[in-house]
Structure 1
Amino acid sequence: MDHRILTHQQILHKINRIAYQIYEANVDETQIVLAGIEGGGLDFARKIKRALEKICTAEILLCKVGMDKANPLTSPVTTSLKVSEYQDRSIVLVDDVLKSGTTLIFGVKHFLETPLKQLKTAVLVDRNYKRFPVKADFKGLSLSTSLEEHVRVDFSTRNYGVYLD
């Protein structure tokens, strides 16, 4: 049995709120890189990009971040942008759900190997269960869950939803 914990309208509101927070943290920037982790993170980053483009004049670059989520230690993190395209820029690493922090910490590690102006993180749902010392700078919802519960974000239809399975 799955329970809807965020409706379409609530998700849209959280996307807009996060976009404003990102803008406020980057008000003087001419370029902001949204680095979406492949899957739900990239979908979420695309939605934030559209919202940001409505409220600020900065150029918003979308970067796809790829990694083997099952084996992040043994496989490299890849990006759709060259290092020179995000070096010395402000980056927001985006994922849909922050559970253990594994995906986010490996993404952060990758970007910290390059000089940056600023690196922030954004998630739609922060499950408050972390194995790594990583936090979401911008988050839509904090949710305390058990290890057996699963949070599912569905951006596949016109009626977005976040579900607790």
Structure 2
Amino acid sequence: MGTRTVLEGAEISRALTRISHEIIESNKGVDGLVLVGIPTRGSSLAHRIAATISRIEGADVPVGSLDVTMYRDDLAHQPTRAPQPTDMPVGGVDGATVVLVDDVLFSGRTVRAALDAVNDHGRPRAVRLASLIDRGHRELPIRADFIGKNLPSAKHERISVRLEEHDGVDEVTISDASGEAGA
């Protein structure tokens, strides 16, 4: 199959703009809203969404970053990466509507870990989930509230999100990764 590009820069930008509008509408504005990205690319996406919301609403939205590595229940089965810094907004998450932001929603295990991690930082009023890509194959009863693109894929395929901040280009690709763990 090789590798094929399924989203390019302009399409990613439009998806994030749509997600930003949906978050504002769902929250009825930006009061009490906090965005928390899941490193690495989820954090960059959270900052982009916050910038878009700021342009739309004329108000800043607090943004944090929440590493979930040590909260995962599949560390024995997944290759581990070095933990990334957790940087919660100064106002915290107590009583806020927290929107967790991740690049790819797959099994749901990263989001489950993020829910545990958020609870260690306070008690939000509500927690929502925004994901650039939803590829299906859930192992847990978790769904995204805001989705950039539904991208049904085979379990053996790999979805790669590359962002300017980390990779020098904005694109989402799908490739045959038989024998490798998915995104």
TM-score by length of 1: 0.88
Q: Shift of residue 31 of structure 1?
A: 3.7
**Which of 74, 85, 106 matches 2:113?**
106
Aligned to 2:104: 97
Aligned to 1:161: 171
Structure 1 runs of 4+ with >3 Å offset: 73-79
> What CA distance in whole angstroms lies between the structure 1 residues aligned with 2:17 and 2:170?
14
TM-score by length of 2: 0.80
**Which of 105, 129, 133 matches 1:121?**
129
Q: Shift of residue 53 of structure 1?
A: 0.7
CA RMSD of aligned residues (A): 2.5
Structure 1 unmatched runs, 5+: none
Equivalent pairs: percent with the same residue?
A: 26
Aligned to 1:151: 159
List aligned pairs for 1:1-165, cutoff 5 A.
Answer: 1-68=2-69, 72-73=72-73, 79-81=86-88, 85-112=92-119, 114-156=122-164, 159-165=169-175
> What CA distance in whole angstroms lies between the structure 1 residues aligned with 2:58 and 2:125?
18
Structure 2 unmatched runs, 5+: 76-82, 176-183
Q: Which amino acid aligns with 2:109?
A: T
Counterpart contact for 1:8–1:161, Cα < 8 Å: yes
* Matched residue SS, 2:92: helix
Structure 1 residues 151 and 14: alpha-carbon distance in aligned structure 2, compared to 1, 3 A threshold: same
Post-superposition Cα deviations, 1:39-75, rounded to whole Å, max 9, x if no partner, equal: 1111111111111110114431111111227x71398
Counterpart contact for 1:31–1:90, Cα < 8 Å: yes
Counterpart contact for 1:31–1:59, Cα < 8 Å: no
* Matched residue SS, 1:60: coil
> What CA distance in whole angstroms lies between the structure 1 residues aligned with 2:10 and 2:150?
17
Mean Cα deviation higher: 52-61 or 79-88: 79-88
Q: Shift of residue 90 of structure 1?
A: 1.1
Structure 1 residues 127 and 59: alpha-carbon distance in aligned structure 2, compared to 1, 3 A threshold: same
Post-superposition Cα deviations, 1:133-153, rounded to whole Å, max 9, x if no partner, equal: 111000011111111100001
Higher strand share: 1
Counterpart contact for 2:66–2:117, Cα < 8 Å: no
* Matched residue SS, 1:79: coil
